Amino acid sequence: MNLKRVVVTGLGALTPVGNSASETWENLLAGVSGAGPITRFDSSLFKTHFACEVKDFTPNDLLDRKDARRMDRFTQFGMVVADEAIADSGLDFEKENVDRIGVIWGSGIGGIDSFYDQVKGYVESGFIPRFNPFLIPMMISDITPGRISMKHGLRGPNYTTVSACASSTNALIDSFNLIRLGKADVIVTGGSEAAINPVGMGGFNAMNALSTRNDDPKTASRPFDADRDGFVMGEGGAGIVLEEYEHAKARGAKIYAEMAGGGLSADAHHLTAPHPDGLGAKNVMLFALEDANMTPEDIDYINVHGTSTPLGDIAETKAIKQVFGEHAYNINISSTKSMTGHLLGAAGAIEAMAVIMSIYTDTIPPTINHFTDDENLDSKLNLTFHSAQGREVRAALSNTFGFGGHNASVLFKKAE
């Protein structure tokens, strides 16, 4: 079958380190940490008192006031980043066949903020059932692409993918496949998440998944460091416009990179822990390479899942060495979660954007907060510690792995 080519023509972001795609990229290259004390609720009784929050976000400045009140925070984030990505793409929907333009989004948790607020109000009222009539549309995970489509009149494929921390990477892969199969011309894709509240923090604290480095939040996310003690919760989102190459070329669009492949696999091992030998991670990278018809030697950069957990970081580097062999030592590897924290279902979209920009600018964002080498990791791997590195980036991978053993990897390359 003659598959169509798929390119990236628009980017948008709202993250703990920037309120736009350009600001986020600049701060990633500068090694800026987005971590700080939690401001959204009183965390004094929790084991973790910090997170990577979005800063200076006022939804009424960016969205219709009435609409914003009827959206959960994760949808507000999604609307803003989708608008930025669409504007960046230069698409004029009045000139397009909107039946062939879709929205596919990723969110692992959805409207947990709205759910928590309404249940809390119900209990505090003495169990009087006075619920917001918009509660269900605010909390369901699929509402964000629905709202994006309504705002812009887009009538193509429309849904949300849910696979924990791999959610928005799955959204990218689904979008990619629909376009290359000729089912759509353009898809606005990405992901958003907003789980920094008592339920989100409390749940992950109960699992001992979060860092408790309360004395030094900015250095708490320490991928590959011997003293890493868990991930730092993040929030925000990213939007990416994927477009069929000839369609983009015909309208003179700016092209950041070409999406060349995607891989999906399962660990089939444990609810929350990775396969100790990185089996699922190995398979998903091999599948992405095969899908793109590329070899390990074609890859110059990997943005790893790299959450800063004791088991996960080791398993992923084992997988990289199995897939890439001696070439693993020629690849730049970095975890931008060291700066943004872990955006859960939105992580894949943020990190795909970082990979796309690394290809577009020939620059690798760093892994910050490295202080002590871990003897269980191969010291010869280039984990891009401390500062950004310039190099030609012909092709790059972005890995995301979710609770339940869900693995997804996307491969981008320079557009010819």
For residue 249, the model assigns a pLDDT of 98
Residue 82, C-beta contacts closer than 8 angstroms, at least 6 positions apart = 12, 103, 148, 188, 190, 239
The per-residue DSSP string of 371-397 comes to -SB-TTS-TTSB--BSS-EE---SEEE
Hey, is 360 helix, strand or coil? helix
Torsional class of 209: left (φ above 0), alpha (ψ -120 to 50), beta (otherwise): alpha
What is the location of CATH 3.40.47.10 in the chain? 6-250, 263-410
pLDDT of residue 275: 86
Catalytic residues, by residue number, are 165, 305, 342
pLDDT of residue 335: 98
pLDDT at residue number 78:
98
Residue carrying the six token digits 């979710």: 402
8 Å CB contact between 26 and 18 = yes
Task: Supply the pLDDT for residue 278.
Answer: 86
Indicate the CATH number of 263-410 among 3.90.226.10, 3.40.1410.10, 3.40.50.800, 3.40.47.10.
3.40.47.10
pLDDT tens digits in sequence order for the chain, 416 residues long: 799 999 999 999 999 999 999 999 999 999 999 999 999 999 999 999 999 999 999 999 899 999 999 999 999 999 999 999 999 999 999 999 999 999 999 999 999 999 999 999 999 999 999 999 999 999 999 999 999 999 999 999 999 999 999 999 999 999 999 999 999 999 999 999 999 999 999 999 999 999 999 999 999 999 999 999 999 999 999 999 999 999 999 999 999 999 999 999 998 999 888 888 889 999 999 999 999 999 999 999 999 999 999 989 999 999 999 999 999 999 999 999 999 999 999 999 999 999 999 999 999 999 999 999 999 999 999 999 999 999 999 999 999 999 999 999 999 999 98
CATH homologous superfamily for the domain 6-250:
Thiolase/Chalcone synthase (3.40.47.10)
Is 256 within 8 Å of 11 (Cβ atoms)? yes
Note whether 270 and 403 are within 8 A (CB).
Answer: no
Please give the pLDDT value at position 258.
Answer: 98
Question: What pLDDT does residue 73 have?
Answer: 98
Specify which residues 364 forms β-bridges with: 389
Are β-strands 236-244 and 186-193 bridged in parallel, bridged antiparallel, or unpaired? antiparallel
